[in-house]
Amino acid sequence: MRIIAGEYRGRRLAVPDRPGLRPTGDRVRETLFNWLGQRLDGCTCLDLFAGTGALGFEAASRGAARVVMVENDRVAYEALRQAKALLPAPRVELIFDEALRYLEFGDERFDLVFLDPPFRQNALAATLERLPPRLADAGRVYVEAAEPVAPGEGWRELRRARAGQVSYQLLEKR
């Protein structure tokens, strides 16, 4: 996986061979960060199903003040730890935990949340339901899934696109 812009531009990070683990592709990340305005200076970000760390490390590279990455797979977590040390990425905090459990405990609020859970988990509805208390005012949520999600009450869809078998959306808390 390659970081496409910012401080760590061009850096390549190893991706462990794990079932369901797939980095967000360059084209999708480019589109997402075009939507977000390229730079994330001062933003606090949560990469809730961090996996390869593609989204979280890209956010850190583009100036996010703080990026919290949550991962519950030991092998993927170890790869994230190695990538963080390699860059080095001092504004990135790694947490080994289940995503929904992480949302239940703590009170930090985030400007931007990346949601890219393994497609087979069907975790998006439960996650979106629990997410609002952890979002800053006008917080935005990036969602990547096999099919577009119907965000439901309290959410507004800002953008939507598709690349191959991946649907991705940018939502905003109302």
Spatial distance between the Cα atoms of 9 and 132, rounded to a whole number of angstroms: 32
Domain locations in the chain as residue ranges: 26-173
What residues pair up with 2 in beta bridges, in sequence order? Answer: 12
Q: Would you state the pLDDT for residue 102?
A: 96
Cα 3 to Cα 14, 39, 41, 148: the distances in Å are: 11, 14, 17, 25
Q: Inform me whether the pLDDT recorded for 69 exceeds 90.
A: yes
| pLDDT value of residue 93 | 98
Backbone dihedral angles phi then psi of residue 97, each to the nearest 5 degrees: -170, 165
The DSSP-derived string for 96-114 is ES-HHHHHHS----EEEEE
List the CATH code of the domain at 26-173.
3.40.50.150
pTM of the complete model? 0.94
Question: CA 94, CA 35: separation in Å to the nearest integer?
Answer: 26
List, for residues 6-62, the tens digit of each pLDDT value. 999 999 988 888 877 778 889 999 999 999 998 999 999 999 999 999 999 999 999
Q: Which residues make Cβ contacts (< 8 Å) with residue 19, sequence separation at least 6?
A: none
For residues 63-91, one letter each, b for 16 or more C-beta atoms within 10 angstroms of the residue's C-beta and e for the rest, the string is: ebebbbbbbbbeebbebbeebbeebebeb
Category of 138 on φ-ψ map: left (φ > 0), alpha (ψ -120 to 50) or beta: left
pLDDT at 52: 92
Continuous segment of H or E residues that includes residue 30: helix 26-36
Q: Report pLDDT digits (tens) over 84-140.
A: 999 999 999 999 999 999 999 988 999 999 999 887 777 888 899 999 999 999 899
